[in-house]
Amino acid sequence: MSSSATSAGPEHGAADVESKPVIAVVLVAAGSGQRLGYGMPKARVPLGGEPILMHALRGIVASGVATQVCVALPEGDGALRQLCDDFRTELVDGGPLLTLVDGGATRADSVRSAMSALESGTQAVLVHDAARALTPESVFHRVADALAAGALAVIPVMPVVDTVKTVEATTDEDARIAPEVVVGTAPRENLRAVQTPQGFDLATLLKAHEGAAGFDAAQAAAITDDAMLIEMLGVPVHAVRGASQSLKITTPLDLIIAEGLLEGPLGARWVEG
C-alpha cells in the first residue's frame, strides 16, 4: 500500500505484492430507499425474512477481509442501530470491530462520515452499498487481492448486455416525434457496469474526497461512485470481475429477484453464478 510505496510507480502502492493491507469495510446504509417505495429506509426492508442490512453485514463478515466494519446508518434510526448492536454480540472473537456512524444527505457524505470513524492503522478501505446485500464472498476477495497486489483503486465490474446509447433532448420541432434523439453509441465491448465493494488505498480515497468537498450541488449529484473521484485524480482504477448476485436492490423488481436468489436453485447467497 501507499505506506510502503518506495519503489513502485504512481499507479502501484505496494512494493511487496505479498503484503496484505489492513482493510476496513465502509458499509453505506443511510439511504431512504425512495425507489423501493417501502416507506422505510431500504436497509430495514425485509429480504428472505431479515432486514437487507443483515444480509449485507453477514456477507462482509463471512468474507473475512476486514478488521473493521463501519456502517453509516440513517440519522436517528434506533431500530437499525439496535439491529447492529445485536449483530455485534454474534461476532466471534477475532471477528471485525463493528462501528456505527450517522450517514449524511448524500451517499458521498455517508462515505466521508464512515471514513472519519476508521481505526488508526487502517491502510485500505472497501466501500460497499448495503443495497448490494447478496454480494458473494468471492467478489470481496477479488477486490482485496487486487489491493494486496498493489492497486490504489479497484472496482468489481460486469459486462453490459444492452447496447447503450447517448441521447439528447429533442428540439421543439422534433419533440412532436419523440422526446429524445440518439447522438452516439459507445462500443459495448468496452462498457462495464460497476458494482461495489470498491477498494481503495485509504490515503488516496481521503484525498479524492477532499477534492470533492468544494463541489456545488450539481457536481456532487453527478458523482455516483467513489471511483469517479479517483479518476479525477488521474490514479488508475483497476477492474476485477463482479457477480450478478451483487445486483443493487433499487426497485421492487430488484427485490423480487433478490428473493428469488435466496429461494431458487442457486440457493445459498454466497454461491457464485
CA distances in angstroms from 159 to 16, 82, 188, 242, 261, listed in the order given: 31, 38, 8, 9, 20
**What part of residues 31-50 is at the interface with Mg ion (CB under 5 A)?**
31
- Residue 29 or 69 having the CB closest to ligand CTP: 29
CA distances in angstroms from 211 to 126, 208, 219, 258, 263, listed in the order given: 19, 5, 12, 36, 44
Q: Which does residue 29 touch among ligand CTP, Mg ion, none (CB within 5 to 8 A, set by kind)?
A: ligand CTP
**Separation of alpha carbons 111 and 183, rounded Å:** 35
The contact pattern for Mg ion, residues 4-33, with x = CB under 5 A and - = no contact, is ---------------------------x--
3-state helix, strand, coil in the chain (%, to 5): 35, 20, 40
Q: Which residue has the cell 481503495?
A: 200
Q: Does 32 bind ligand CTP (CB under 6 A)?
A: yes
Among 10, 15, 17, 34, the residue binding ligand CTP under the rule CB under 6 A is 34
**What part of residues 42-101 is at the interface with ligand CTP (CB under 6 A)?**
42-43, 72
Grid cell digits, residue 157: 465490474
Q: CA gyration radius for the chain?
A: 19
- Strand residues in 63-220 grouped as ranges (E): 68-73, 97-102, 124-129, 153-159, 165-169, 180-185, 192-194, 198-201
The contact pattern for ligand CTP, residues 247-266, with x = CB under 6 A and - = no contact, is -x-x----------------
| Least distance (Å) between residue 151 CB and ligand CTP | 23
Q: Which does residue 33 touch among Mg ion, ligand CTP, none (CB within 5 to 8 A, set by kind)?
A: ligand CTP
Q: Does 17 bind ligand CTP (CB under 6 A)?
A: no
- Among candidate residues 92, 82, 32, 30, the one with its CA nearest the CA of residue 58: 92
Q: Which does residue 64 touch among ligand CTP, Mg ion, none (CB within 5 to 8 A, set by kind)?
A: none
CB 126 within 8 A of CB 65: yes
CB 238 within 8 A of CB 146: yes
Among 83, 84, 130, 152, the residue binding ligand CTP under the rule CB under 6 A is 130
Q: Of the listed pieces 102-110, 140-148, 159-167, 257-265, which binds ligand CTP according to CB under 6 A? A: 102-110
- Residue 2 or 110 having the CB closest to ligand CTP: 110
Number of residues that bind ligand CTP (CB under 6 A): 22
| Least distance (Å) between residue 47 CB and Mg ion | 18
Among 2, 63, 68, 110, the residue binding ligand CTP under the rule CB under 6 A is 110
Strand pairing class (50-51; 124-129): unpaired
**Separation of alpha carbons 26 and 64, rounded Å:** 14
- Residue 106 or 122 having the CB closest to Mg ion: 106
Q: Of the listed pieces 10-18, 35-43, 204-212, 255-263, which binds ligand CTP according to CB under 6 A? A: 35-43
Q: What residues make contact with Mg ion under the rule CB under 5 A?
A: 31
Q: What residues make contact with ligand CTP under the rule CB under 6 A?
A: 28-35, 42-43, 72, 103-107, 110, 129-131, 248, 250
